[in-house]
Amino acid sequence: MLSITNLTAGYGKLTILHAVDLEVPAHRFVALLGPNGSGKSTLLKSVFNLTTVSGGSVRLRGEEVLGRGTEGLSRLGMAYVPQRGNVFATMTVRENLQLALRGLSHRAAAETMDECYALFPILAQRQRQKTAHLSGGERQMLAIAMGWLKRPQLMLLDEPSAGLSPLFVSEVFRTLKDLCASGITLLVVEQNARSILRWCDDAYVLREGRVVFHGSADAILADEETAKGYLGVGRRQRNEG
């Protein structure tokens, strides 16, 4: 689904990513892990053409997408859910969802809204509430739903569990797993490595803008140096639960 080759990128003259290679197979849930400042969010933004790219290639289903505008990337089947500023606080839940449905016929929008409420039942319950009054977990569900409403083939999510209670962290990851099972490919930046490794299929670990490990979730947890040194997950933590 997504192929990144030798990607070097950053902000202006500041280089954050150094010759990164990464593959996201179709219908897989892939996590991007690593310590703060390792370049995880920059990598997502670079895929969505929100950084300064000085070298490399980003291909979506084999088609080069570097230099494409965000609207063009959306039309190609890519959706990006940033960590912040991902919903409109002064609007109701339903109004946010309707905004994501713009361009559809009335009938198609109504049918898609019904599908959305079936997949995200908490949003059906909160549809008339102002988004500003939602909990952090509910706002994150709304942001994910707005991305899903674009019917993407690939979703990029930046720190979907940030600031959430443990209960909502599991709920968010369970929802993402369901989306992946429905045929959507996921690339997810996450600081909470211990939690996401219970749900994702594969993971990449970044450090100082470079890939230092790649493998299945089980393989990363089984590698003592990577798990403890880069992710802060020790043997006792891995065996809990």
Considering its fold, how many domains does the chain have in total?
1
pLDDT digits (tens, 9 = 90+) for 117-145: 888 888 988 989 898 888 878 888 888 88
CA neighbor of 29 nearest in space, from 215, 169, 176, 149: 176
Strand order through the sheet with 78-81? 78-81, 154-158, 185-189, 29-33, 202-207, 210-216
Question: What is the distance, to the nearest Å, from the Cα of residue 38 to the centroid of all Cα atoms in its chain?
Answer: 16
Task: Read off the pLDDT band of 228 (50, 70, 90).
Answer: low
pLDDT digits (tens, 9 = 90+) for 9-35: 999 999 999 999 999 999 999 999 988
pLDDT digits (tens, 9 = 90+) for 87-127: 888 899 998 998 888 877 788 888 888 888 888 888 988 98
Residue 92 belongs to domain with CATH number: 3.40.50.300
Structural domain for 53, as ranges: 2-239
pLDDT digits (tens, 9 = 90+) for 50-73: 999 999 999 999 999 998 888 889
pLDDT digits (tens, 9 = 90+) for 229-239: 666 655 444 44
